[in-house]
Amino acid sequence: MTSNSAIDRAPRADAQRNRAAIIDAALSCLAAKPTASMAVIAQAAGVGRVTLYGHFSSRTELIEAATVQIMSRVDAELSPLDLDGDPRDALERLVTRSWRILDDLRGILTAGEQELGTDRIRENHDQSMRRVHQLIERGQAESVFRSDQSAGWLTACYFAILHGAATEIRAGRLSETQAATVIPETIQAIMSVPAARAARTD
């Protein structure tokens, strides 16, 4: 005889699998085409529209869930990165890894920006932003990053450059080869202590 608890667990497990399949399908479909419809995502997930809307009442809600999941994956990829030692070298490693991840996710980020707006996307960057902010503060404390501007502002500049570069790559105005050089150089230039100030401290 099957217990009531076992019966209750089965639907919950099915619901969790369906939800995971829908989010995975959304990530795949949006990566290929940022304007992918709910119908296309449902078909890719192997579920009906009723099941899809039972989990996500709107495309906006689904894209936000997908964005949260993908940012968790990004954080998991960046967490093992060694950010010790010279802050400038650590920044170089972080920038190099981060822009390549964003390049891989540019279709999903486009969908997110279109559907949620840049402010909501930024909210989902919380852990990544803390990582950058802490590195910048360390560089400022060690006098290798400029301290005439706040760490918060420099963090915002960091992400603006990464997202701007992703847009340029997407539009074909910046090649990946160019990006590999331009992005780190631009961010390092923004973080560097201004030349006149550096000369006065020598």
* CA pair distance 59, 92, nearest whole angstrom: 36
Q: Are 151 and 140 in contact (CB under 8 A)?
A: yes
Task: Give the pLDDT confidence score for residue 122 in this predicted structure.
Answer: 63
Q: Measured at the alpha carbon of residue 66, what is the angle toward residues 159 and 53, in degrees to the nearest 5? A: 145
* CA pair distance 33, 17, nearest whole angstrom: 24
CA pseudo-torsion sign 154, 147, 191, 99: negative
Name the architecture of domain 67-201: Orthogonal Bundle (1.10)
Is the pTM here over 0.85, yes or no? no
Q: Is residue 145 helix, strand or coil?
A: strand
Is 30 exposed, middle or buried, given 0-12, 13-18 or 19+ CB atoms closer than 10 A?
A: buried
Q: Are 109 and 156 in contact (CB under 8 A)?
A: no
Residue-by-residue pLDDT tens, the chain, 202 positions: 555 555 455 557 888 899 999 999 998 898 888 888 999 999 999 999 999 999 999 998 998 888 888 878 888 888 888 999 999 999 999 999 888 777 667 677 777 777 766 666 666 667 788 899 999 999 999 999 999 999 999 999 998 898 888 878 878 899 989 999 999 999 999 999 987 555 555 5
Cross-strand partners of 192: 145
* CA pair distance 184, 162, nearest whole angstrom: 10
Domain boundaries of the chain, sorted by first residue: 1-57, 67-201
* CA pair distance 29, 195, nearest whole angstrom: 47
* CA pair distance 61, 55, nearest whole angstrom: 9
- DSSP string covering 24-69, please? HHHHHHHHH-TT--HHHHHHHHT--HHHHHHH-SSHHHHHHHHHHH
* CA pair distance 40, 25, nearest whole angstrom: 9
